[in-house]
Amino acid sequence: MGVLYDYFRAVDDAAAVRLMEDLDGGPVAVSGDGGAVDAIDLKGIDPTVILGQLVSLVRGADWEVDTIVSGLLWSGDEQEGPWLMSIDGATQDTLASIDDAQMPDLSARWGRIEELAWGGPPADDEMLTVIEQIAALARRARDAGDNLYCWCCL
C-alpha cells in the first residue's frame, strides 16, 4: 500500500481546510465528481522529495529537503492522516513556468531519480503526463489568484 497524494487549488488556507471538512477528510481528486474542485491525483508523488526534485530540475538547482516549503494545515489523525499541506508560492510559480518545450527533457531527467526509477528507469516520456498535469494546475492556480495544496493519506 502506498501513500496517496492529491494536488488542488483553493483561494486560501481557510478554504482548503473547509474543503477537508466538507469532504470528511478527502480524497480531493474524485473521478467523476463533476469538477467541483480543480484537483489532480498524483498517487505516490510526494511534495517534499519527488515533486521537490522536479522543481529543482526546473530551477537548475540541487535538490534540498526545503526546496518546496509546505506547511501542515489540517490533519484527520496525527499518526494515520489524512493530512493537508500548503505549497509555497515560489514552487507554484516554478511549476507554472514550465513550458511545453521543456517537458520532454524534464520527463526524461526526472524519471531517472532514485525514487521514480526503483524498478529501472522509466521510458523518457513516462513522466510527461504528470508534468503536464502539475504545470497546468499551477498555471490555473496562478491565473485565478489561488494557492496550491496537497492532500495525502496512507
Q: What sections of the chain are H helices per DSSP? A: 13-22, 50-59, 89-96, 103-110, 128-144
- pLDDT tens, position by position, 83-122: 999 999 999 999 999 999 999 999 999 999 999 987 887 8
- pLDDT tens, position by position, 17-43: 999 999 999 889 875 555 579 999 998
Report the alpha-carbon distance of residue 68 to residue 86 in Å, rounded: 10
The distance in angstroms from the start CA to the end CA of the chain is 8
Three cell numbers, residue 60 = 537548475
Nearest to 146 by CA among 35, 36, 8: 8
pTM, full prediction: 0.93
